[in-house]
Structure 1
Amino acid sequence: MASDREFVEYVAGQIAADAVITYRKMFGEYMLYANGKPAVLICDNTAYIKTLDCVKPYLENAERGFPYKNAKEHYIIDPDDRELLSAVVKELERNVPLPKPKKTV
Protein backbone atom coordinates (compact mmCIF):
# COMPACT_ATOMS: atom_id res chain seq x y z
CA MET A 1 0.00 0.00 0.00
CA ALA A 2 1.45 3.35 -1.02
CA SER A 3 1.57 6.27 1.39
CA ASP A 4 -0.90 9.14 1.14
CA ARG A 5 0.49 12.52 0.19
CA GLU A 6 -1.66 14.07 2.93
CA PHE A 7 0.13 11.95 5.55
CA VAL A 8 3.52 12.96 4.15
CA GLU A 9 2.56 16.63 4.28
CA TYR A 10 1.30 16.16 7.86
CA VAL A 11 4.62 14.62 8.96
CA ALA A 12 6.57 17.37 7.20
CA GLY A 13 4.42 19.98 8.92
CA GLN A 14 5.06 18.42 12.33
CA ILE A 15 8.80 19.03 12.06
CA ALA A 16 9.73 22.27 13.76
CA ALA A 17 13.27 22.58 12.43
CA ASP A 18 15.65 25.27 11.34
CA ALA A 19 16.04 23.19 8.19
CA VAL A 20 14.18 23.33 4.92
CA ILE A 21 11.96 20.24 4.83
CA THR A 22 11.25 18.72 1.43
CA TYR A 23 10.04 15.32 0.27
CA ARG A 24 10.39 13.13 -2.77
CA LYS A 25 8.22 10.28 -3.99
CA MET A 26 10.01 7.00 -4.63
CA PHE A 27 8.17 3.86 -5.76
CA GLY A 28 4.90 5.01 -4.17
CA GLU A 29 6.59 5.87 -0.87
CA TYR A 30 8.36 9.03 0.28
CA MET A 31 11.62 10.29 1.75
CA LEU A 32 11.61 13.51 3.78
CA TYR A 33 14.78 15.58 3.62
CA ALA A 34 16.14 18.21 6.02
CA ASN A 35 18.35 20.65 4.09
CA GLY A 36 18.78 18.02 1.41
CA LYS A 37 19.77 15.27 3.86
CA PRO A 38 17.58 12.15 4.18
CA ALA A 39 15.69 12.19 7.47
CA VAL A 40 12.35 10.34 7.54
CA LEU A 41 11.26 7.45 5.34
CA ILE A 42 7.51 7.10 4.96
CA CYS A 43 6.13 3.72 3.91
CA ASP A 44 2.52 2.58 4.26
CA ASN A 45 1.72 5.78 6.16
CA THR A 46 4.30 4.96 8.83
CA ALA A 47 7.29 7.17 9.64
CA TYR A 48 10.63 5.37 9.86
CA ILE A 49 14.02 6.62 11.06
CA LYS A 50 17.21 4.81 10.11
CA THR A 51 18.87 3.14 13.14
CA LEU A 52 21.89 5.43 13.46
CA ASP A 53 24.00 6.04 16.57
CA CYS A 54 23.19 9.76 16.55
CA VAL A 55 19.47 9.13 17.19
CA LYS A 56 19.80 6.13 19.49
CA PRO A 57 19.50 8.22 22.69
CA TYR A 58 16.13 9.52 21.44
CA LEU A 59 14.73 6.26 20.06
CA GLU A 60 16.41 3.33 21.83
CA ASN A 61 13.06 2.29 23.36
CA ALA A 62 11.02 2.98 20.21
CA GLU A 63 9.20 0.32 18.27
CA ARG A 64 11.14 -1.03 15.31
CA GLY A 65 10.08 -2.36 11.97
CA PHE A 66 10.97 -2.95 8.35
CA PRO A 67 9.69 -0.31 5.92
CA TYR A 68 9.81 -2.64 2.90
CA LYS A 69 10.91 -6.13 1.93
CA ASN A 70 14.64 -6.77 2.42
CA ALA A 71 15.12 -3.43 4.22
CA LYS A 72 17.23 -3.08 7.33
CA GLU A 73 15.39 -2.55 10.58
CA HIS A 74 14.37 1.07 11.27
CA TYR A 75 12.94 2.93 14.25
CA ILE A 76 9.25 3.75 13.97
CA ILE A 77 8.45 7.26 15.17
CA ASP A 78 5.06 8.69 16.08
CA PRO A 79 4.56 11.81 13.93
CA ASP A 80 2.10 13.16 16.51
CA ASP A 81 5.03 13.54 18.96
CA ARG A 82 6.17 16.79 17.40
CA GLU A 83 8.87 17.50 19.99
CA LEU A 84 10.57 14.11 19.56
CA LEU A 85 10.22 14.13 15.77
CA SER A 86 11.75 17.60 15.53
CA ALA A 87 14.64 16.71 17.85
CA VAL A 88 15.43 13.56 15.87
CA VAL A 89 15.30 15.38 12.52
CA LYS A 90 17.60 18.12 13.84
CA GLU A 91 20.05 15.47 15.03
CA LEU A 92 19.94 13.75 11.65
CA GLU A 93 20.45 17.03 9.83
CA ARG A 94 23.58 17.67 11.90
CA ASN A 95 25.05 14.18 11.45
CA VAL A 96 23.94 12.69 8.14
CA PRO A 97 25.96 13.59 5.03
CA LEU A 98 24.37 14.91 1.87
CA PRO A 99 23.60 12.17 -0.66
CA LYS A 100 26.27 11.70 -3.31
CA PRO A 101 25.36 13.33 -6.60
CA LYS A 102 24.20 10.98 -9.31
CA LYS A 103 26.68 10.47 -12.12
CA THR A 104 25.49 11.60 -15.51
CA VAL A 105 26.17 9.38 -18.49
Structure 2
Amino acid sequence: MQPTRKVICRKSVHLGHNMASDLSYVEYVIGQIKTSGAIMYKKMFGEYLVYLNNKPVVMVCDNTAFVKMLDCIKPLMEDAETGFPYDGAKEHYIVNTDDGEHFSKVVNILEKNVPLSNSKKKKK
Protein backbone atom coordinates (compact mmCIF):
# COMPACT_ATOMS: atom_id res chain seq x y z
CA MET A 1 0.00 0.00 0.00
CA GLN A 2 1.39 3.38 -1.05
CA PRO A 3 1.54 6.16 1.54
CA THR A 4 -0.93 8.94 0.87
CA ARG A 5 0.17 12.52 0.54
CA LYS A 6 -1.18 15.19 2.84
CA VAL A 7 -2.42 17.32 -0.06
CA ILE A 8 -2.72 16.54 -3.74
CA CYS A 9 -2.90 19.54 -6.02
CA ARG A 10 -4.22 17.78 -9.11
CA LYS A 11 -5.13 14.23 -10.02
CA SER A 12 -2.54 14.20 -12.79
CA VAL A 13 0.27 14.90 -10.30
CA HIS A 14 -0.93 12.13 -8.01
CA LEU A 15 -1.16 9.65 -10.88
CA GLY A 16 2.18 10.66 -12.33
CA HIS A 17 0.69 11.83 -15.64
CA ASN A 18 1.85 15.43 -15.64
CA MET A 19 0.73 17.52 -18.56
CA ALA A 20 3.09 20.23 -19.77
CA SER A 21 2.07 23.79 -18.99
CA ASP A 22 0.81 26.06 -21.76
CA LEU A 23 2.98 29.02 -22.70
CA SER A 24 -0.17 31.16 -22.80
CA TYR A 25 -0.79 30.39 -19.11
CA VAL A 26 2.81 31.30 -18.24
CA GLU A 27 2.40 34.60 -20.09
CA TYR A 28 -0.83 35.21 -18.13
CA VAL A 29 1.01 34.53 -14.84
CA ILE A 30 3.75 36.98 -15.79
CA GLY A 31 1.17 39.58 -16.80
CA GLN A 32 -0.42 39.39 -13.34
CA ILE A 33 2.83 40.34 -11.56
CA LYS A 34 2.94 44.07 -10.83
CA THR A 35 6.57 44.98 -10.29
CA SER A 36 9.29 47.29 -11.52
CA GLY A 37 11.74 44.40 -11.68
CA ALA A 38 12.87 42.27 -14.61
CA ILE A 39 10.65 39.23 -15.18
CA MET A 40 11.68 36.24 -17.27
CA TYR A 41 10.91 32.55 -17.50
CA LYS A 42 12.74 29.37 -18.46
CA LYS A 43 11.19 26.21 -19.79
CA MET A 44 12.34 23.04 -18.06
CA PHE A 45 10.99 19.57 -18.77
CA GLY A 46 7.73 20.95 -20.19
CA GLU A 47 7.18 23.19 -17.19
CA TYR A 48 8.33 26.72 -16.39
CA LEU A 49 10.22 28.63 -13.72
CA VAL A 50 9.47 32.36 -13.45
CA TYR A 51 12.24 34.67 -12.27
CA LEU A 52 12.06 38.18 -10.86
CA ASN A 53 15.42 39.98 -10.95
CA ASN A 54 17.14 36.62 -11.61
CA LYS A 55 15.55 35.06 -8.54
CA PRO A 56 13.26 32.03 -8.97
CA VAL A 57 9.88 33.01 -7.52
CA VAL A 58 7.13 30.96 -9.22
CA MET A 59 7.08 27.43 -10.60
CA VAL A 60 4.38 26.72 -13.18
CA CYS A 61 3.53 23.02 -13.43
CA ASP A 62 0.41 21.55 -15.02
CA ASN A 63 -0.91 25.10 -15.54
CA THR A 64 -0.78 25.73 -11.79
CA ALA A 65 1.40 28.37 -10.10
CA PHE A 66 3.41 27.16 -7.10
CA VAL A 67 5.61 29.09 -4.67
CA LYS A 68 7.91 27.78 -1.96
CA MET A 69 6.52 27.53 1.55
CA LEU A 70 8.68 30.19 3.20
CA ASP A 71 8.02 31.96 6.50
CA CYS A 72 8.17 35.39 4.83
CA ILE A 73 4.91 34.74 2.93
CA LYS A 74 3.18 32.51 5.46
CA PRO A 75 0.80 35.25 6.71
CA LEU A 76 -0.30 35.96 3.12
CA MET A 77 -0.78 32.28 2.28
CA GLU A 78 -2.67 31.02 5.35
CA ASP A 79 -5.76 30.14 3.32
CA ALA A 80 -3.91 28.89 0.23
CA GLU A 81 -4.11 25.36 -1.05
CA THR A 82 -0.90 23.38 -1.09
CA GLY A 83 0.40 20.74 -3.43
CA PHE A 84 3.38 19.07 -5.03
CA PRO A 85 4.46 20.52 -8.39
CA TYR A 86 6.13 17.26 -9.45
CA ASP A 87 6.95 13.84 -8.05
CA GLY A 88 9.59 14.09 -5.36
CA ALA A 89 9.09 17.83 -4.78
CA LYS A 90 8.56 19.42 -1.41
CA GLU A 91 5.10 20.74 -0.66
CA HIS A 92 4.45 24.22 -2.12
CA TYR A 93 1.74 26.83 -1.83
CA ILE A 94 -0.61 27.07 -4.80
CA VAL A 95 -1.04 30.75 -5.69
CA ASN A 96 -4.26 32.27 -6.97
CA THR A 97 -2.90 34.18 -9.96
CA ASP A 98 -6.33 35.67 -10.71
CA ASP A 99 -5.94 38.00 -7.71
CA GLY A 100 -3.15 40.07 -9.24
CA GLU A 101 -2.70 42.36 -6.24
CA HIS A 102 -2.23 39.50 -3.76
CA PHE A 103 -0.10 37.50 -6.22
CA SER A 104 2.16 40.52 -6.79
CA LYS A 105 2.63 41.01 -3.03
CA VAL A 106 3.65 37.36 -2.64
CA VAL A 107 6.07 37.48 -5.58
CA ASN A 108 7.68 40.75 -4.50
CA ILE A 109 8.21 39.46 -0.95
CA LEU A 110 9.73 36.25 -2.32
CA GLU A 111 12.08 38.24 -4.55
CA LYS A 112 13.46 39.99 -1.46
CA ASN A 113 13.95 36.71 0.41
CA VAL A 114 15.24 34.12 -2.07
CA PRO A 115 18.86 34.00 -3.25
CA LEU A 116 19.96 34.75 -6.79
CA SER A 117 19.70 31.84 -9.19
CA ASN A 118 22.99 30.03 -9.68
CA SER A 119 23.21 29.32 -13.38
CA LYS A 120 25.87 26.77 -14.18
CA LYS A 121 28.18 28.03 -16.89
CA LYS A 122 29.86 25.62 -19.28
CA LYS A 123 33.62 25.45 -19.14
CA LYS A 124 35.46 25.76 -22.44
Larger radius of gyration: 2
Counterpart residue type for residue 35 of structure 2 = A
Q: Does 1:8 align with 2:43?
A: no
Counterpart of 1:77 in structure 2: which amino acid? V
User: What does the per-residue CA deviation read over 1:37-91, in whole Å, with 9 as the maximum and x for residues that have no partner?
Assistant: 0000000000001101111111122100000001100000111010111001100
The correspondence for 2:44, drawn from 8, 17, 26, is 26
SS at match of 2:48: strand
Paired position in structure 2 for 1:76: 94
Task: Percent identity, please.
Answer: 59
Structure 2 residue runs of 5 or longer lacking an equivalent are: 1-18
Aligned to 1:52: 70
Query: What is the rounded CA distance, in whole Å, between the counterparts of 1:22 and 1:45 in structure 2?
Result: 17
Question: Secondary structure of 2:50's match?
Answer: strand
Question: Counterparts of 2:43 and 2:82 in 1: how far apart (Å)?
Answer: 23
TM-score, normalised by the number of residues in structure 2: 0.81
Which structure 1 residue ranges, 5 or more long, are not aligned? none
Matched with 1:96 is 114
Amino acid at match of 1:14: Q
Q: What RMSD, in angstroms, separates the aligned Cα atoms of the two structures?
A: 1.0
Q: 2:58 aligns with which of 40, 60, 69?
A: 40
Would you identify which runs of 4 or more consecutive aligned residues in structure 1 move more than 3 Å?
A: none
Partner of 1:85: 103
Count of aligned pairs: 105
- Structure 2: which amino acid aligns with 1:15? I
